[in-house]
Structure 1
Amino acid sequence: MKTTVLGLVSLLGAATPAMAQDVTDGALQFSRQCTACHVVTTPDGTTLAGRGARTGPNLYGIEDGRIASADFSYGDGLTRLGEAGASWTEQNFVDYLADPNGWVRERLDTRHVRSKMAYRLQDEGQARDIWAYLLSLDE
């Protein structure tokens, strides 16, 4: 029994980093949680993911992209962050998804801004998987 438990702990420990960057799960989570509002479309108009929804911005090329740089009517908070040169990193993406309003307010040090995104994704693993999936589309 002791060997089995130790083996399981070792297996889970080794599997954790891979699970945090699972492109396949990211594709599934994106289709379940993001496509109602977002699309991933290349500059030449090829849709890679989503159903053409335009409630939220196109997420193509998000990695290290300036915040609020897509052709979209962003809220004041994200617009101000983009103008200041802030960019999307994996950690910014994960933290933003967990609490869009709180994230924008914290970065701008004001409670007087809101994000237009009301949806929250507090499962960090799913958020990281979606990030990995979005990056895989930009290769």
Structure 2
Amino acid sequence: MKKSTLSALIILASSAIAAPALAQDAEAGKASFNKCMACHSIGPDAKNKVGPELNGLDGRPAGSAPDYNYSEANKKSGITWNEANFKEYIKDPKAKVPGTKMFFAGIKNEKEINDLWAYVSQFDKDGNIKKK
């Protein structure tokens, strides 16, 4: 077998093995969101609680949910929420935004983080599930 063919097969096999690890499950993320519900809400009837409502989080600048009193650290963080920023933040909020009011130890499990992002990011700014 030629080296280039063998290399291609190895790359294809590696990506097939890695793909399931990257899959996101919004339904599992919904269950994980139970950890967030004491402080946050999401969906059509979402309201600010101890933390801001999370509708339309994907693409929203940090510190911008209407009528929520954010910490200065959060307002000045310069973060626009996207998958990468969310995943880094949710692992350790105080490390990502020193001075944040968010008292949460974080989620360390990568699959749970992926699933939680899949759940949270599916909501538009009005709390409706985005059309695919």
- TM-score w.r.t. structure 2 length? 0.73
Q: Larger helix proportion, structure 1 or 2?
A: 1
Aligned ranges for residues 113-128 of structure 1 at < 5 Å? Answer: 114-119=99-104, 120-128=106-114
1:16 aligns with 2:16: no
Aligned ranges for residues 1-139 of structure 1 at < 5 Å? Answer: 13-18=18-23, 21-31=24-34, 33-41=35-43, 46-47=44-45, 54-71=49-66, 72-81=68-77, 84=78, 86-105=79-98, 114-119=99-104, 120-138=106-124, 139=130
Give how far 1:47 is off. 2.1
Deviating runs (4+, > 3 A) in structure 1?
9-14
RMSD: 2.2
Q: 5+ unaligned residues in a row in structure 2: which ranges? A: 1-13, 125-129
TM-superposition CA deviations, 1:63-117 (whole Å, max 9, x none): 0111111021111111112xx4x30011111111111111114xxxxxxxx1111
- TM-score w.r.t. structure 1 length? 0.69
Q: 5+ unaligned residues in a row in structure 1: which ranges? A: 1-8, 106-113
Following the alignment from structure 2 to structure 1, what is the Cα–Cα distance between the partners of residues 36 and 103? 12
Following the alignment from structure 2 to structure 1, what is the Cα–Cα distance between the partners of residues 19 and 82? 25
Q: Using the aligned pairs only, state the percent identity.
A: 31
How many aligned residue pairs are there?
A: 110
